[in-house]
Amino acid sequence: MSSLFLKNLTAAAVRPSIAKKQALNRVILPSLASRFLTTAATQAACHDDEPSFLQSVEKYYDAAAQISEVKPHTLAHLRAVDSVLRVTFPIEKENGEYEVIEGYRAQHSRHRLPVKGGIRFSEEVDLQEVEALASLMTYKCAVVDVPFGGAKGGIKIDPKKYTPDQLERITRRYTMELCQKKFIGPGIDVPAPDVGTGPREMAWIMDTYSQFNVGEVNAAGCVTGKPLSLGGVRGRNEATGLGVYYGIREFISYPEVQQKTGVSGDMSKNTVVVQGFGNVGYFAAKFFEENGAKIVGIGERDCSIYDPNGLNVEELHKYYRANGTFKGYSSTAQILENSSQILETECDILIPAALERQIGLRNVNNVKAKIIGEGANGPVTPAAHDILEKSGKVVVPDLLLNAGGVTVSYFEWLKNLSHVRFGRMNKKWDERARAKVVALVEKNAGRPLTEAERKAIVHGAEEADLVYSGLEDTMIQACQETRQTAELKKVDFRSAAYINAIQKIAAVYEGSGMLFMH
């Protein structure tokens, strides 16, 4: 480990001087008190009497478990979270004051290793949230046959309130705690980006892990969602949004879904509203638009925009990045000051791709969409889910629909362990073989192909091509399995996805005798 790295960590947070500790106490205690009061106030103002996010996940799990035909003791074990890490550490701010940072990491199930799950930076992060998200990750991995257990982590901060330098120190300090507690490693626990984090934070995590594990040849595999230059994989950035598109495309092709909702199997005849214009929402909207759908609404925190004549996703995205708002973008589009109203606008397909618990008893009866595709984790509460299904709508669940991210993270992890770019070994071999076939066809057909035709046929698969192909095949297979279980058990798609996940995980537990080792 470099002396400079240790020096930076020490100066940032690890060993404040005695004088600074005294200042620390004067600042930290009021800070913690106000934080607890804020949390209590937030919870008191929460939606009606509906369950928390963790309780919602458990409720969905319990409903599916009852008809899963899995042994009760296996179900009880699978419902519980295996391990939870909670850490606190101080950070010095630019004005010389100190703030205590809270961080969490939950490992829900280690039936397969490593466990996998994102790290989010959000003021909403708490123990219940990471436990719920870790549980969801376990089921999500199982649904799409990714051989990982489920985990989740988070740091309780609003990243917009910190400088890049402060965010780096916070991220590295949090990673140091994970390293010391054995909560990170390519064969142990592999984080990924989530709300408020991205490739930059993953690069900091990987570098910190490498400093603590000098000589670890697979160190790059300790985290996914990295920049390409540091071992990332092409296609990871858009993976979750692309997976959302693939999933909805599959479901609207099913005759029973078309009959129940009236939604056309032809994507070009459908209108789409997306709540959330971050990574998931932007790419989901982009792929829907590129494949013929009309994007009529986009929602963000400060306001939403709606235009029944359609929005240009790329132009809107550039405007939003430049201005931080949709206001002023168009004189014809409607601006909704209450951003959550975008969930209640007219459309065929609604994609909540923001945060959990966005559709609940308070607004579910106003939802006009025919298909609700959960791009975010837990955007629909259990009571709202039941109302939507009973009213003739279809909910495509989060543990299936937004599994594109973890699927491509799995591909990145494989790339890091194999130490070779996908396509590197076989691209030119495939092109030469195809060129011979093209030459044979031209000879017998009597017409030479144009240069464009030749390139299209001969072109060997690049890394992105292979990643897209693997993701598409994964989503198609998972959607078909969910559909089959829904028909067999006479249940909705959410229950079907949970049943599939429970049965797959139970098979690992019971087949290996793992239950008797805990």
Q: Annotated catalytic sites, by residue?
A: 152
Nearest one of 379, 369, 430 to 401, comparing CA atoms: 379
Distances (CA, A) of 404 to 140, 401, 455, 477, 490: 10, 7, 29, 13, 26
What residues form DSSP beta bridges with 380? 359
**Residue 259 and residue 252: Cα distance in Å, rounded?**
10
The dihedrals phi and psi of 62, each to the nearest 5 degrees, come to -60, -40
Sequence-separated (6 or more) residues with CB below 8 Å from residue 293: 267, 268, 270, 271, 272, 349
The position carrying tokens 């618990």 is 357
Query: Is residue 303 classed as helix, strand or coil in its secondary structure?
Result: coil
Token couple for 296: 């009529």
Beta strands in 260-407 (DSSP E): 271-275, 294-299, 304-306, 334-336, 349-352, 371-373, 394-396
Give alpha helix (H) positions in 419-512.
427-445, 451-458, 463-489, 493-512
Nearest one of 304, 308, 307, 313 to 285, comparing CA atoms: 313
Nearest one of 208, 218, 127 to 175, comparing CA atoms: 208
Question: Which DSSP string corresponds to 86-128?
Answer: EEEEEEE-TTS-EEEEEEEEEE---SSSSEEEEEEE-TT--HH
First to last CA, the chain: 36
**Residue 321 and residue 261: Cα distance in Å, rounded?**
35
What residues form DSSP beta bridges with 115? 149, 189
What residues form DSSP beta bridges with 98? 92
Chain-centre distance of CA 201, in angstroms? 15
Question: 19-55: buried (b, 16+ CB within 10 Å) or exposed (e) per residue?
Answer: eeeeebeebbeeeeeeeeeeeeeeeeeebeebbbbbe
**Residue 233 and residue 193: Cα distance in Å, rounded?**
13
Q: Which helix (H) or strand (E) holds 258?
A: helix 255-261
Give alpha helix (H) positions in 309-426.
313-323, 382-390, 398-401, 404-418
